[in-house]
Amino acid sequence: MSLSIKKEYDVVVVGAGPGGSVAARFAAESGASVLFLERDRETGIPVRCAEGVSSPGLDQFIDIDERWIANEIYSARFITPDGNTLDMKSHVKGYILERRIFDTALCDLASQKGATMLTRANVTHAKRTPDGLVEVAYTHVGTPKTVKCKIIIGADGIESRVGRWFGIKTNLSLTDVSSAIQYTINNIEIDPHRLEFHFGTNIAPGGYLWIFPKSANTANIGIGITGNFASEKPAKAYLDEFISKRFENPSINYTVFAGIPVARTLSEIVTDNVMLVGDAARQVNPITGGGIKQAMIAGRLAGKLASEAVKTGNYSTKFLSKYPSEWDKVLGSKHSFIHAMKERVIYASDERLNKISRACAHIPPEKMTTLELFKQVVKGDPKLVLDMSKAFLADKFTT
């Protein structure tokens, strides 16, 4: 018996993470024929994620299902370089996911809308053909195959190659890639419903260290530091030091090394017949490194537009450019601002972070919001406004 994979689809999506599966789903729901290809034996594994996401980020895409919710989060603690703490009560519910189950649930939704998924399908190359279509080469369980499509959506994560095959520049500078290592650790005692973020040049230079609890005894504990610092002392050394000081007898049951693109969105995320989504398009929040919600939002925009392009028979860069315009309105411009703040303001110096925490010390956790934090920061450090303006302008005028 052979699988009923057709020779041609309207849309082929490369990668079945949150970005790819949501793009596949919305393209199929809007009427396109869709094939989505995943190189691993199942999506979501290995888990390269701390698995934190807010309820508004999820609710718009999928009904909450306890099969893939590990834990609920109600607050966050920020620990500054001088050891001071800032507590923030979350105004929306947060979740720690089980990505290995969650990613599959998103793929199931795409299939229910008519998209065909294939795992162990490694896309090896793609190119435009003279008939105005794209030929996608992949191996399925080791056997070489090709399939044609009108639009290819590259949702192939941080190591994305789809963009490069079509001439899009996807390279990242050392300061825009966070080198991350994370352990899932058991046999520890933590507040099960509070996230922790630790900052400081001795803890996590150019980044932060996180504790995302999966229960009162288990957590994803990881660190992300930018490439320029990672070459001096590896992220693992910082993380191991922290864990051995904080916990008595930790037991590691999962270890993952990965990169996070803490950059601005690529200046080019579409070209003729091609769209990029999620980490492949560098659509991660440049400070937090969060990219699940971001990839799903981009996937929805790209999937819907791909189907519209198929209906009108127009797969040109010009037509597809509605996607980056929409992305900029929803999150892209915000990410540019956050990116500008990242190095020059947030990770600028331990002293600045200490100052921020002192300025906010009087705010009770339930009143602490990002806006309140921002107001206090500006009040306590007028030079910051100038630095922010400079950073933003510099970022705007840097390609």
Ligand X SMILES: Cc1cc2nc3c(=O)[nH]c(=O)nc-3n(C[C@H](O)[C@H](O)[C@H](O)COP(=O)(O)OP(=O)(O)OC[C@H]3O[C@@H](n4cnc5c(N)ncnc54)[C@H](O)[C@@H]3O)c2cc1C
| 109 lies in the site for ligand X, by CB under 6 A | no
Instruction: Specify whether the CB–CB gap between 306 and 275 falls below 8 A.
Output: yes
- Where does this chain touch ligand X (CB under 6 A) — which range of 9-17, 185-193, 343-351, 369-377? 9-17
Nearer to ligand X, 219 or 368 (CB): 219
- The residue among 189, 179, 208, 180 whose CA lies nearest residue 251 is 189
| 260 lies in the site for ligand X, by CB under 6 A | yes
- Where does this chain touch ligand X (CB under 6 A) — which range of 12-20, 69-77, 142-150, 183-191? 12-20
| 213 lies in the site for ligand X, by CB under 6 A | no
Here's the x/- map for ligand X, 148-167, by CB under 6 A: it reads as -------xxx----------
Q: Where are the beta strands (DSSP E) in the chain?
A: 8-14, 34-37, 52-54, 69-79, 85-97, 116-118, 121-128, 134-140, 143-154, 177-186, 194-198, 207-213, 219-226, 251-261, 270-271, 274-276
CA dihedral for 186, 187, 191, 192, sign (positive or negative): positive
**3-class DSSP state for residue 1?**
coil
| 107 lies in the site for ligand X, by CB under 6 A | no
Token digits of residue 398: 């840097």
Q: From the CB of 156, what's the least distance to ligand X, in Å?
A: 4
Block residue for tokens 């594994």 = 45
Q: Of 79, 88, 177, 180, which lies in the binding site for ligand X, with binding defined by CB under 6 A? A: 180
Residue type, 316: S
- Non-local CB neighbours of 265 within 8 Å, separated by 6+ positions: 281, 282, 283, 324, 327, 328, 332, 335, 336
Q: Of 9, 11, 12, 15, which lies in the binding site for ligand X, with binding defined by CB under 6 A? A: 15
Q: Of 10, 20, 238, 353, which lies in the binding site for ligand X, with binding defined by CB under 6 A? A: 20
Here's the x/- map for ligand X, 287-326, by CB under 6 A: it reads as --xxxxx-x-------------------------------
Alpha-carbon distances, residue 171 vs 167, 310, 387 (angstroms): 12, 30, 27
Q: Of 71, 80, 182, 273, which lies in the binding site for ligand X, with binding defined by CB under 6 A? A: 182
CA–CA distance, 294 with 290 (Å, rounded to integer): 8
Nearer to ligand X, 35 or 359 (CB): 35
The number of beta carbons lying within 10 Å of the beta carbon of residue 132 is 12
Q: Of 10, 18, 61, 78, which lies in the binding site for ligand X, with binding defined by CB under 6 A? A: 18
Interface with ligand X: number of residues (CB under 6 A): 38
| 84 lies in the site for ligand X, by CB under 6 A | no
| 177 lies in the site for ligand X, by CB under 6 A | no
Q: Which residues bind ligand X (CB under 6 A)?
A: 14-20, 37-40, 43, 48-53, 122-123, 155-157, 180, 182, 222, 258, 260, 278-280, 284, 289-293, 295
